[in-house]
Structures are given as C-alpha cells and as structure tokens.
C-alpha cells in the first residue's frame, strides 16, 4: 500500500487552553494529535460552492479547526435549496449564499477566518485560487469543474472533488504535482473525464433531483480528504475514485492512472474550449444548424403575454417539454405538454401548433433550447424561455 503523504501544512503556534479543550477529541487520535490540530489551525482551504456539498464541507472544516476558509459563490439562497443545503435556513432565503454560509461558520467556530468571493469563477477571476493550500470543488456545473481542475493542475494545488446526482455520487482527490518520492502519480479530472459532456446531455440536480441526505454523506467524505491532506494522516483518494451508491448501500473504489490528456495552457484556453464545446450557447437569437434562428423570452416577457384574467394570448402556444414527474409537480398556466424525448423522436411534433408562436420551457432552459431548435427546423416560429420554470417561480412566486 502507498505510504501516506507528508503533511501539506506546517504546524501553527502551540494550542491555547481553550483550543486544547475544544479540540480534545482530535488530540486523542494518535494519527492526528496536537501537531495535526496545529496544522489545521494554520491551513487555508478554498471551497468553491456553498450549496449541497459546500454546506457540510464548510461546517465540518470550521468545526475541525481549519484556520482560514474561503467561499466562492455568487448565488442566492432559494427555498428549494433547503432540502440539502443545510448551512442555510428559512430566514436566509434571498440572501447571498456566501454571506449566509459565513454567518453559519462563525456560529460553529468564531475563530475561523472567512474570506468571501461573491463572484462567478471565470478565467478573469481565477486569481481567487491564489494563496490557498487546498481547493475543494463542490460545484454542480461542468464548465466550473473543468476550469477549477485545470487551474489547480497548472498551479500544482491539490484539489478535493465531489459530484452528486439523484442517489449516486463520486469523490476523489486530484493533484498534478504530488511530492516527489511520495509514490503517488500526478492525476487530474481529465484523467477520468477527458472532456466535458455536450450541453444538455447530462441533467443537472435541478432537473434530475438529488437525495439531500447524500449531500451530507459525500460532503463529509470530502472534508475528511481535506483533513488528511493537511495533516498527512492516512491515504488520500489520490488516483482512486470512490463511487457511492446510496440505494444499494455500497461504496466502490475505482483506481485510475494518468491518461496523458493534456491540460490547456491557460485558464482562458480552458474557458475557450468549454465555450466552444459546452457552455457558450447564446440564449438570444440562437442560430440553428440549418440557419433557422431561435428567439428567447424572459419570464417577465412571458408574463406580459397573459391578459388580466390570467389567460395566455391566442397567438401564442406555451410548450412544456419536461418529464411526466416534473409536469405533475407544477406547470406554467396555459401550457401544453410534449416530453422532449417524444418531440425529438418525431411522434410529438404534430401536437405542437404551427399557426402560432411557440414558447418552449423546461426546468432551467437547457432542454427547452434543444426542443426549440428542433421545432424551428419544422418551420415554426419558436422562442426559448430563459431560465425555465425556475425563472418563472422567481418572478411570480407560484
């Protein structure tokens, strides 16, 4: 078995009497002890995302005594987050997630210093990664995951990574340049997944759902990996991916090796690659493959298409392309329904009016854009609802 890595962080000052009392259960662990606790108090950990995975991560790292935590999140707390994002509460709905998370951390451990980055991580803001010992990726979108992983690889920063969807999850540690002689090979996200999947091919948690309790389980696993790296305790999941099957009650370990997949030279190169392959799908006036153009509509513009009695204008058809279970939970008033699979298969196209402008929606606007392109090629006048049902909820409160 590979030997444990050397501790990542040097020990800080001797513990105070109050710290000896607070961290006494850690001090009893021979593999951790007083020296390990001093390393944690001296550590700087950047957590990207204060959502489902970031919630348990941040709380357990603060409770464990990590001295300085950074939080990157530009989102606000929504009611639908509370099912799994346990760092936030009902009173936090509408607040910036980073601020809500900081306040919760201060309640857990007021001695933990917190730095907030309330901005989206892009090539222009990648300097957020400067000066941290470990970066933890708790995000839920592929462009950010690849940008984070590639930049950590370029800088040689160890990265703890996790991903959740429905009842399944994955956890691993990536480090392009582990210490020489450690016995560990340098690996990155691209050694498992060389490229991001095409846009719309993998539903998000907002579209497919996620078991809230699993986020706590996986976030805690990730926090443990951070502690192991900081203190040199145990063997990290470096070159191994833990696959969690909650319904089956199994955790399977899959080893992996460097694949030789190249890392783009700069953050701008990574962003350009992802823009071309995945995320840069303009929402407004999108050109279809055959030159047909697809328009867009905001939730506010859609609301303006209803009369005073709440009826949709007669010259507009509103099309829902979500799954049956999503439709059963909620539908925008006046919409007709043809599931995306039926539409793309051809069977459902005849159910879509061709004598009116068609506004297509799904949960967040990704699947509906595919449907809009498909319908535009049949000669229909089509627009995509930006942000889907989520945007409609935010506007109307329905």
pLDDT recorded at residue 280: 37
Between 293 and 193, the higher pLDDT residue: 193
Q: How far is Cα of residue 325 from the mean position of the Cα atoms in its chain?
A: 23
Q: For tokens 């300085």, what's the residue?
A: 68
Quote the pLDDT of residue 18. 96
pTM over 0.85: no
Question: What is the assigned CATH class of domain 17-279?
Answer: alpha beta
- Which of 114, 23, 121 minimizes the C-alpha distance to 74? 121
Q: What is the mean pLDDT of residues 263-268?
A: 92
Please, which pLDDT band fits residue 383 given cuts at 50, 70 and 90?
very high
The b/e string for 266-294 (b: 16+ C-beta within 10 A; e otherwise) is ebeebbebbeebbbeeebeebeeeeebeb
Q: Looking at 85-150, which runs of residues are DSSP E strands?
A: 113-117, 134-137
What's the rounded Cα separation, in Å, for the pair 284 and 294?
Answer: 8
Residues with a catalytic annotation lie at 205, 362
- What pLDDT, on a 0 to 100 scale, did the predictor assign at position 151? 96
For residue 293, what pLDDT band results from cuts at 50, 70 and 90? low
What residue ranges do the domains of the chain occupy? 17-279, 286-396
Chain mean pLDDT for the chain: 89
At 346 the pLDDT is 82
User: What is the CATH number that goes with domain 286-396?
Assistant: 3.40.250.10
pLDDT tens digits, one per residue of 69-96 = 999 999 999 998 999 999 999 999 999 9
Residue 276's Cβ-side half-sphere holds a number of Cα atoms within 13 Å equal to 7
Structure tokens at 351: 């159910």
As a whole number of angstroms, the distance between CA 66 and CA 169 comes to: 25
Binned at pLDDT 50, 70 and 90, residue 208 comes out as low
Three-class SS of residue 316? strand
Q: Residues with Cβ < 8 Å from 99, sequence gap 6 or more?
A: 116, 118
pLDDT digits over 30-40, tens only? 999 999 999 99
**Res. 16 pLDDT band, cuts 50 70 90:** very high
| Triad 49, 53, 55: Cα angle to 5° | 80
pLDDT at 348: 86
């Amino acid at each position: 078995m590979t030997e444990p890595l050397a501790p990542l962080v040097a020990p800080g000052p001797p513990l105070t009497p109050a710290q000896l009392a607070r961290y006494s259960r850690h001090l009893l662990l021979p593999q951790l002890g007083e020296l390990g606790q001093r390393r944690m108090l001296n550590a700087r950990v950047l957590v990207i995302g204060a959502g489902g995975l970031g919630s348990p991560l941040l709380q357990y790292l603060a409770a464990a005594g990590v001295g300085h935590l950074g939080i990157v999140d530009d989102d606000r707390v929504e009611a639908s987050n509370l099912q799994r994002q346990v760092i936030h509460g009902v009173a936090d709905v509408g607040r910036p997630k980073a601020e809500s998370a900081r306040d919760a951390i201060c309640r857990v451990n007021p001695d933990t210093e917190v730095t907030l980055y309330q901005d989206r991580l892009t090539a222009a803001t990648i300097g957020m990664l400067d000066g941290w010992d470990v970066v933890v990726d708790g995000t839920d979108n592929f462009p950010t995951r690849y940008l984070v992983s590639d930049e950590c690889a370029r800088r040689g920063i160890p990265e703890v990574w996790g991903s959740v969807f429905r009842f399944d999850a994955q956890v691993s540690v990536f480090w392009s340049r582990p210490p020489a002689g450690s016995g560990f090979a340098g690996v990155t996200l691209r050694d498992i997944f060389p490229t991001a999947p095409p846009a719309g091919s993998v539903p998000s948690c907002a579209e497919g759902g996620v078991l809230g309790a699993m986020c706590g389980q996986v976030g805690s696993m990730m926090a443990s990996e951070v502690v192991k790296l900081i203190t040199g305790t145990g063997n990290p999941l470096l070159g191994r991916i833990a696959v969690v099957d909650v319904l089956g009650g199994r955790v399977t370990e899959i080893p992996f090796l460097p694949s030789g997949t190249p890392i783009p030279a700069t953050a701008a190169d990574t962003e350009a690659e992802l823009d071309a392959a995945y995320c840069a799908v303009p929402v407004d006036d999108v050109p279809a493959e055959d030159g047909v153009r697809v328009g867009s509509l905001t939730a506010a513009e859609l609301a303006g298409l209803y009369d005073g009695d709440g009826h949709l204008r007669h010259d507009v058809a509103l099309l829902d392309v979500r799954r049956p279970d999503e439709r059963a939970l909620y539908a925008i008033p006046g919409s007709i329904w043809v599931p995306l699979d039926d539409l793309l298969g051809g069977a459902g196209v005849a159910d879509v009016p061709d004598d009116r402008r068609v506004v297509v929606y799904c949960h967040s606007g990704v699947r509906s854009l595919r449907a809009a392109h498909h319908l535009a090629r049949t000669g229909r006048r089509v627009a995509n609802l930006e942000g889907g049902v989520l945007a409609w909820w935010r506007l109307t409160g329905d």
